[in-house]
């Protein structure tokens, strides 16, 4: 029994083939261990309610599963070398604890819907974590925006000096961009949070299962009614998650690029403290922004993640394929790397020092040409005529920049709408969908 696999029929598989097909499952399935037990608890409770497992057997099985869950939560859990995956490991441990009763937990399930369930339970927790982390990072950017809303800086188009901006506007852009990422995370949550349990191998089960029961026990928004579509969701879920991570990576990548450029000696818009930079082996003056160069490289890899997932799931026919196993090798490490990137950005952002007098440099004397045109327009001069007049003054060297800027509309320099953006972020943080899920899981553990 110790070497049992969920699909084992007593025929020994070639060791080289077994090693290749298992791949990194033993390592990556540790992420799923807690969720595998929670899924089994809900499944067994449902089996007891429909009369497939007796009322006397249920508490024994549940007690064994709770003991395994406690082992996992104490980080004293591992998958044995001779065990194929987490599903087999949990079942073997349960049988060791309570005897043959443990073999009943796979009744009415396939490994296909079991791994689908584990992944969905894991993914929705990670989405919830990112809602929390990205929300806090967005608020941190917005705080920096508020602190520096009156510190002017040049704005660029085509990498050429364009119009006056501010550090408040710059930081605020990342705050609002991250808020949009929160909206995307919230948007895909209900798609991820559907119950696949009961779809079995992709065509349902002849057992009288009650899929509504497991849906409620596990806090799902609903269930995949069609068992084939439940299997189709393997790959779709990963693609949506890959896109959400890529969206976050895009914002972080742009910030890293700006940090590298703006800390350059030719810009000197801002700087990092020496302890957050690296030096040169031969040039004693160097303060290299290596941390942001690495952030840029890592985010570029994450930006490629949706393409990798797409190529892995494209051209597969209806039904399960072992190709899906490799999705874990793409998504799980991406989670780890994104967690690290968010942590580093959160750590370095408050330590940035700004140059408060950038726009006083003579090379930025034309930053207010648009303001000059707009002043003439407000005096009743047609825009095209005002544009030509200011252009001519620049060519003749007679241009005089306006004494005062008048920016009042929503989002402009004088009205950055920082409080409104903070309120949007706070609203999503206060309504994290995982809170109600935790309540359902608490009831499952206590019943």
User: Can you list the domains of the chain with their CATH numbers?
Assistant: 15-107 (1.10.275.10), 120-151+165-199+226-359+420-432 (1.20.200.10)
Classify 195 as helix, strand or coil.
Answer: strand
Residue 223 backbone phi and psi in degrees, to 5: -125, 160
pTM over 0.75: yes
How much is the pLDDT for 96? 96
Q: Name the pairing type of β-strands 152-157 and 160-166.
A: antiparallel
Q: Torsion-angle region of residue 161: left (phi > 0), alpha (psi -120 to 50) or beta? A: beta
How much is the pLDDT for 371? 84
How much is the pLDDT for 329? 96
Tokens representing 133 are: 């982390």
d(CA 405, CA 374): 10
Q: Which of 112, 114, 68 is nearest to 90 (CA)?
A: 68
Question: How do the pLDDT tens digits run along the chain, 447 residues long?
Answer: 444 555 455 567 777 777 777 777 788 999 999 999 999 999 999 999 999 999 999 999 999 999 999 999 999 999 998 888 999 999 999 999 999 999 999 999 999 999 999 999 999 999 999 999 999 999 999 999 999 999 999 999 999 988 889 999 999 999 999 999 999 999 999 999 999 999 999 999 999 999 999 999 999 999 999 999 999 999 999 999 999 999 999 999 999 999 999 999 888 999 888 888 776 556 666 688 899 999 999 999 999 999 999 999 999 999 989 899 999 999 999 999 999 999 999 999 999 999 998 988 888 888 888 888 888 888 899 999 999 998 999 898 888 888 788 888 898 888 999 999 999 999 999 999 999 999 999 999 997
Q: Where are the beta strands (DSSP E) in 75-171?
A: 152-157, 160-166
- Residue 370 contacts by C-beta under 8 Å, 6 or more apart in sequence? 163
Identify whether the C-beta of residue 129 lies closer than 8 Å to the C-beta of residue 408.
no
């Amino acid at each position: 029994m110790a070497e049992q696999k969920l699909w084992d029929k007593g025929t020994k598989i070639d060791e080289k083939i077994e090693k290749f097909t298992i791949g990194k499952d033993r390592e990556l399935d540790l992420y799923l261990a807690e969720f595998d037990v929670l899924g089994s608890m809900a499944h067994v409770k449902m089996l007891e309610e429909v009369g497939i497992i007796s009322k006397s057997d249920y508490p024994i099985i549940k007690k064994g599963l709770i003991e395994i869950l406690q082992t996992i939560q104490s980080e004293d859990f591992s998958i044995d070398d001779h065990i194929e995956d987490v599903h087999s490991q949990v079942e073997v441990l349960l049988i060791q604890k309570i005897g043959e009763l443990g073999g009943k937990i796979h009744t009415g399930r396939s490994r296909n819907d079991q791994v689908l369930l584990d992944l969905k339970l894991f993914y929705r927790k990670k989405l919830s974590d990112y809602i929390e982390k990205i929300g806090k990072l967005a608020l941190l950017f917005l705080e920096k925006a508020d602190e520096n809303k009156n510190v002017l800086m040049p704005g660029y188009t085509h990498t050429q000096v364009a119009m006056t901006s501010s550090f408040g506007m710059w930081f605020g852009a990342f705050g609002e961009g991250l808020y949009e990422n929160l909206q995307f995370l919230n948007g895909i949550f209900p798609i991820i949070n559907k119950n696949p349990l009961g779809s079995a191998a992709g065509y349902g089960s002849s057992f009288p299962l009650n899929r509504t029961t497991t849906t409620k026990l596990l806090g799902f928004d609903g269930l995949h009614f069609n068992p084939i579509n439940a299997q189709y969701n393997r790959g779709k879920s990963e693609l949506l998650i890959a896109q959400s991570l890529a969206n976050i990576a895009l914002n972080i990548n742009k910030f890293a690029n700006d940090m590298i450029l703006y800390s350059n000696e030719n810009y000197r818009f801002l700087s990092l403290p020496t302890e957050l930079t690296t030096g040169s082996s031969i040039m004693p003056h160097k303060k290299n922004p290596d941390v942001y160069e690495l952030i840029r490289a890592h985010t570029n890899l994450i930006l490629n993640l949706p393409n990798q997932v797409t190529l892995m799931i494209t051209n597969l026919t209806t039904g399960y394929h072992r190709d899906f196993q490799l999705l874990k090798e793409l998504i799980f490490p991406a989670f780890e790397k994104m967690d690290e990137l968010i942590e580093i950005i959160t750590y370095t952002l408050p330590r940035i020092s700004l140059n408060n007098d950038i726009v006083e440099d003579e090379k930025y004397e034309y930053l207010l040409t648009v303001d000059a045109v707009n002043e003439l327009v407000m005096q009743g001069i047609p825009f095209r005529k005002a544009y030509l007049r200011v252009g001519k003054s620049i060519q003749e060297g007679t241009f005089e920049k306006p004494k005062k800027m008048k920016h009042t509309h929503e989002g402009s320099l004088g009205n950055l709408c920082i409080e409104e953006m903070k309120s949007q972020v706070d609203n999503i943080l206060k309504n994290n969908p995982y809170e109600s899920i935790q309540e359902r899981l608490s009831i499952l553990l206590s019943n």
